[in-house]
Structure 1
Amino acid sequence: MTLIALHAGIAIAAVVLLILVPRVEPVIALVIGSIYLGLASGLGFDDTMKTIVDGFGDIMAEVGLLIGFGVLLGSLLNSMGALQKLVEKLLRALGPGKLSYALAAALTAVFPSIYVDVQLVLAAPLARSAAPRMGRDGLALMGGALSAGILVGYVFVVPGLGTLAVAGLLDVPLGTMLIYGFVLGPVTALLTVFLYHRLLKRGFWNKERDEAVGDRDEAVRETDAAGEAADGGETEGRTERRTPPLTVSLLPIVVPLLLIATGAIAEAAGVESDVLTFLGDPAFALFVGLLGGYALAKRALTGEQLGESMTQGFNSTGQILLVTGVGGSLGAVIGKSGLDDTLAGVFSADAGMPVVVTVLLVWLVAALLHLAIGSIAVAAIAAAGIVAPIMGSLDVPAEVLALAIGSGSLFALQVNSNFFWMFQTLLGVTTRGALKALTFVTALASVVSLVLVLGVSLVT
């Protein structure tokens, strides 16, 4: 079993190094690691490939439709400018002093990150425009709020893609993840912004060194143009959008969440109803949201704009499904290799390991994977693939393990992520500024959420 553990370590290290050094695509690196581990552990050629295919199919059956519907819905809502409307109303209602907290909470709970890159592009113009009215460190504070809001929602709140992938791999009901994530996500985001704000008041941000003065005008023009297009204004070659009211725009997200929550509550209360079970099914609930989003977009967008939005969603879906599915393949190979017995002896509370230490170890694995790979989703999927085969041997609820993985995979998003460079450009900060407003903030959010997850582990 020690030899199996060694081969597993080599396979995981190879995946990380392939992605990090020669910048091999995660899908290719994960398949290479899966093949190596299958052959090295004695599965043979036929069983190795069969296990990879079966693992891919199993995870697709769990989350394939959820991811597809979620990505398409996110693309449609972003095309209609619903996010911009929400943030602008918050600014008028709350004023600049509370906007960072409201923005972080809204991005986490109301608009969980189905599509993080687009969400960043759409939210950045509003953050930039609000920053001058928030004092000397306004840009830093709004940048931290964007980081916490977008990425915490991605790993904790349904239908964030990180949440869906981990829940599927660990077989955690989405209704359960919805309940835990809807509490832990916003609390983590708000506490993170609060602590970060305290540091800013102590001189953590240096405007001269952390803000890109030379590139600021160009960044403002780009982000303002993106904001104008998303808000329904005219841009070259496009007609003005007939955007629906904000309350209507939010329905495609709110209704699926209510359906899933109703189904989960009915199940927990012991209510047996085929209708409630059907309505609360996550795939059906997200499909209802997609239908609603499509109907709104069909009225608000031109035919060309609607086609572009759907095409963008379809293109993104393919990439996400491949990474998620191949992550399931790696988990399946680990399960077949016999490594589960070795890891169970390391993780198991029966072997003398307290629940708190188990949670910390799971968090650490996910955090190290993210630091090396640079992708929150890939790190979360890989960590879940490692943990899934040994869950039965751990004296920790599956939802707690899922939360610990989400928390760890959030740790310190940095320069090996394309999101880092998008953030730097769109927000108009230097690399040093992005390390503070993004890398440091995600590390802080990861640690804050770890404390909360540890608390949950002690009462479940």
Structure 2
Amino acid sequence: MGNAAPLVHTAVAIAAVVVLILKFGVNPALALVLGAVYLGIACGLDPAHTLEVVNRGFGDLMAKVGLLIVLGVLLGTLLSALGAIDKLMALLLRRLGPKLLPYSFAVLMGTVLQFIFTDVLLMVTAPLARTLGPRIGRYGVARMAAAMALGLEVGVALSVPGIGTLALAGLLHVPLGIMLLYGFPLAAVTIVLTLLLFSALARHGFWDPERDERPAAADRSGAVRRHTAGNRPGTPVKGALARVGGAAMWQPANPPPLALSLSPLLIALLMMATGAVAQAAEWRSPLVTFLGHPVAGLLTGLICACLIARRRLPEGAVGEVFGESYRASGQVLVLRGVGGSLAAVVGAVGLGGIIEDSVGQDPWAPLALVWALAAVLHIAIGSVITAAITAAGVLAPVAPELDVQPVLVALAAGAGSLFAIHATSNTFWLLQSLLGQTPRGALKTVTVTVSAASLIALGLIHVLSLVV
């Protein structure tokens, strides 16, 4: 088959991954490893060498993003435990009013609040969105549901510190500061434009409250159970542990002021942004390089959050929050790592050179290719992150040699992975049940809306490719 062999075997490997996940219920991480091993051996690599490449690819990606993901999940979960989100949304409603609330709500979820692990962020914000929807006017329920879907999914795939975005940056060797400078505004603009489009469609008959909304009722998946473990008898109660849909979150009885609650997050973002600007301006200073490193920013923010939590939460609460975070992030780390394994094998079998020869002269071609591959994978598998890192892994070996910035390739993979979120996604059903929608309504606020965001983001990325 000559040069076509790597292409054919890659297609077979990806198809096999999809079948293993859908037909046989194999865990996505294990399916990706098996696909990578098959690809290496089928393309002529020695079996022992194939396993070495798989192992090296996993370790290389974990070395880039593993600690960042862990620190980010810890910081975000701790801030959630301090009640920062409730206060922040209440402030937005007072200052911006009901008309702008869906936009601010979605942009915040899709950018700065991506420090919070997706499942926890969903469980914390869903009751707020459900309550605020009827208060913001006509089609408020629909607009808040669309805002939730956009904030959760677009943030994961396009915005630092979304865990999918971190993995894409590591996979394509994009400095995290550069990913922040490009992805942060791209996510915000994509969310606003998509929500504007959805609101216009809702006003023109796209949304039918009678058929697309459920009557307000208690939702078992959103039930909250509290206990005051950690408070010693005879001492003032500092808070309670709330379990919302299985996610554990400490709720302080006396939450700190909003500015204090958010200060660790703002410190981390400011340090990371400073490093990105310094890198773009080629300002070289050992102190700035150290303080602007993403690990330094996240670690500083986490330390500050721990100091605040120790004064506001009961004894032992910080340790319990950390334990929940470790359990939540374990599978996330494994899945990101095996994406690096697949990319390493793709590079070792020479597929990257074939792709470079085919699309290297056209800046638009690699962006369209990685977007389409991620979209097809997501339709089949139903996982945004798996689709994004698998598609990006195909182009990762040659991304630096293409006539397009690697950061744009990473963002195109993230955008493609957002296409057609549907019934295979657990997030789809959670948004449907927690936000008072029927399945028909969820198809509109989640599937159609996030797919529109995928296409809008691709268009914006194309515009960026023409000017950078």
TM bracket (short chain):
over 0.9
User: What SS does the aligned partner of 1:158 have?
Assistant: coil
> 1:330-367 CA distances to partner (integer Å, 9 max, x unpaired)?
11111111212222223221xxxx21233222211111
- One-letter identity of the residue aligned with 2:399: M
User: What SS does the aligned partner of 1:435 have?
Assistant: helix
Quote the offset at 1:372 in angstroms.
1.3
Distance 1:235 1:108, change over 3 A: closer
User: Which residue matches 2:4?
Assistant: 2
Quote the offset at 1:87 in angstroms.
0.7
Match of 2:397 among 379, 389, 410: 389
Structure 1 residue 184 and structure 2 residue 196: aligned?
no
User: Which residue matches 1:316?
Assistant: 328
Quote the offset at 1:283 in angstroms.
1.2
> 1:262-309 CA distances to partner (integer Å, 9 max, x unpaired)?
122223323221011000111111111121222222222223432331
> 1:139-198 CA distances to partner (integer Å, 9 max, x unpaired)?
111000111122222222211111100000000011111111221111111111111000
Structure 1 residue 51 and structure 2 residue 53: aligned?
yes
Structure 1 residue 445 and structure 2 residue 429: aligned?
no
**TM-score (norm. length: structure 1):** 0.93
Quote the offset at 1:224 in angstroms.
7.5
Match of 2:414 among 400, 406, 413: 406
Distance 2:74 2:290 in 1: 22
Q: Note the residue ranges of structure 1 that are not aligned, 5 or more in a row.
A: none
User: Which residue matches 1:284?
Assistant: 296
User: Which residue matches 1:374?
Assistant: 382
Distance 1:393 1:239, change over 3 A: closer
Distance 1:338 1:240 in 2: 55
Distance 1:190 1:63, change over 3 A: same
Distance 1:440 1:299 in 2: 45
- More divergent stretch after superposition (261-270 vs 379-388): 261-270
User: What SS does the aligned partner of 2:367 have?
Assistant: helix
Quote the offset at 1:227 in angstroms.
12
Quote the offset at 1:240 in angstroms.
4.7
Distance 1:407 1:14 in 2: 23
User: What SS does the aligned partner of 2:34 have?
Assistant: helix
User: Which residue matches 2:261?
Assistant: 249
- Give the count of matched residue pairs: 451
User: Which residue matches 1:98?
Assistant: 100
Quote the offset at 1:30 in angstroms.
0.6
User: Which residue matches 1:335?
Assistant: 347
> 1:105-163 CA distances to partner (integer Å, 9 max, x unpaired)?
22123312541111111111111111112234211110001111222222222111111
Structure 1 residue 433 and structure 2 residue 433: aligned?
no
**TM-score (norm. length: structure 2):** 0.92
Question: Root-mean-square deviation (CA), in Å?
Answer: 2.2
Quote the offset at 1:236 in angstroms.
8.1
> 1:39-69 CA distances to partner (integer Å, 9 max, x unpaired)?
1111122101111111111111111111111
- One-letter identity of the residue aligned with 2:427: F
Distance 2:444 2:239 in 1: 33
- For the 8 Å contact 1:259–1:280, the answer to whether it is kept is yes
Alignment of 1:178-217 (within 5 A): 178-213=180-215, 216-217=216-217
- For the 8 Å contact 1:328–1:385, the answer to whether it is kept is yes
Distance 1:94 1:228, change over 3 A: farther
- For the 8 Å contact 1:404–1:453, the answer to whether it is kept is yes
- One-letter identity of the residue aligned with 1:162: G
Distance 1:204 1:167 in 2: 37
Structure with greater helix percent = 1
Distance 1:226 1:86, change over 3 A: farther
Quote the offset at 1:313 in angstroms.
0.7
- For the 8 Å contact 2:75–2:115, the answer to whether it is kept is no
- One-letter identity of the residue aligned with 2:317: Q
- More divergent stretch after superposition (354-363 vs 440-449): 354-363
Distance 1:150 1:284 in 2: 26
User: What SS does the aligned partner of 1:111 have?
Assistant: helix
Q: Note the residue ranges of structure 2 that are not aligned, 5 or more in a row.
A: 229-237, 244-249
- One-letter identity of the residue aligned with 2:262: L
User: Which residue matches 1:68?
Assistant: 70
- One-letter identity of the residue aligned with 1:158: V
